[in-house]
Amino acid sequence: MKERKRIVVIGGSAAGPKAAARAKRLDPDAEVTIIQKAPEMSMASCGYPYYVGGVFDNRNALLSTPYGEVRDPHFFVHTKGVKARTLTEAVSIDREGRTVRCRDLHSGDLDDVPYDKLILATGARPRKPPIPGVDLVGVTTLQSMKDADFLRRIRDDKSITKAVVIGGGLIGIETCEALQLSGIDITVIEMLPQILMFLDWELAKILENHVRSNAANVITDVKVAGFVGENGQLTGVKLENGTELPCHLAVLAIGVIPNTDLARDAGLDIGQTGGIAVDDFMQTSDPHIYAVGDCVELVHRITGKKTRAPFGDLANLEGRVAGENAVLGNQVTFPGTLHTGICKVFDFSAGSTGLSELRARQEGYENVVTVINASLDKPEFMGAKLLISKMVVDGNTGKILGVQCVGPGDVAKQIATAAMALHGKLTVADVVNADLPYAPPFSLPIDHFIATAHLMENKLKGRLKSMSPIELKKNLDAGKDPFILDVRTPDEFEAVRIGIGETLIPIGELRHRFEDLPEDRDREIVCFCKISLRGYEAALVLESAGWRNVKVLEGGVMAWPFGREK
Residues 185, 163 contacting (CB under 8 angstroms): yes
Whether 527 sits among the annotated catalytic residues: the reply is: no
CATH class for the domain made up of 139-254: alpha beta
Give the model's pLDDT for residue 433: 97
List, for residues 390-413, the tens digit of each pLDDT value. Answer: 999 999 999 999 999 999 999 999
Q: How far is CA 410 from CA 260, 307, 349, 449, in A?
A: 38, 28, 8, 11
Question: Do 139-254 and 349-454 show the same overall fold?
Answer: no
Q: Which helix (H) or strand (E) holds 363?
A: none
Mean pLDDT score, 374-400: 97
Confidence of residue 526 (pLDDT cuts 50, 70, 90): very high
Distance between CA 206 and CA 190 in Å, rounded? 16
User: Which of 1, 126, 67, 34 minimizes the C-alpha distance to 326?
Assistant: 34
Q: Are 169 and 176 in contact (CB under 8 A)?
A: no
At residue 216, the pLDDT reads 87
Question: Strand (E) positions, 150-269?
Answer: 162-166, 185-190, 217-220, 224-230, 233-239, 244-246, 249-252, 256-258
| pLDDT class of 322 with cuts at 50, 70, 90 | very high
Percentage of residues of the chain with pLDDT beyond 90:
96
Residue spans of the domains in the chain: they are 6-124+257-328, 139-254, 349-454, 466-559
Tell which CATH classification among 3.40.50.920, 3.40.250.10, 3.40.470.10, 1.10.260.40 matches the domain 466-559. 3.40.250.10
pTM of the predicted protein model: 0.94
Mean pLDDT of 67-83: 93
- Is the pLDDT reported for residue 138 higher than 60? yes
pLDDT tier for residue 228 given thresholds of 50, 70 and 90: very high
CATH architecture, domain defined by 349-454: 2-Layer Sandwich (3.30)
For residue 159, the model assigns a pLDDT of 85
Say whether pLDDT at 2 is over 70: no
Q: For helices 469-477 and 201-213, give the axis angle rounded to 10 degrees.
A: 90
Whether the predicted pLDDT of 13 surpasses 70: yes
- Domain 6-124+257-328, CATH: 3.50.50.60
Flag whether pLDDT at 1 surpasses 70. Answer: no
Q: Spot the catalytic one: 46, 295, 527, 529.
A: 46
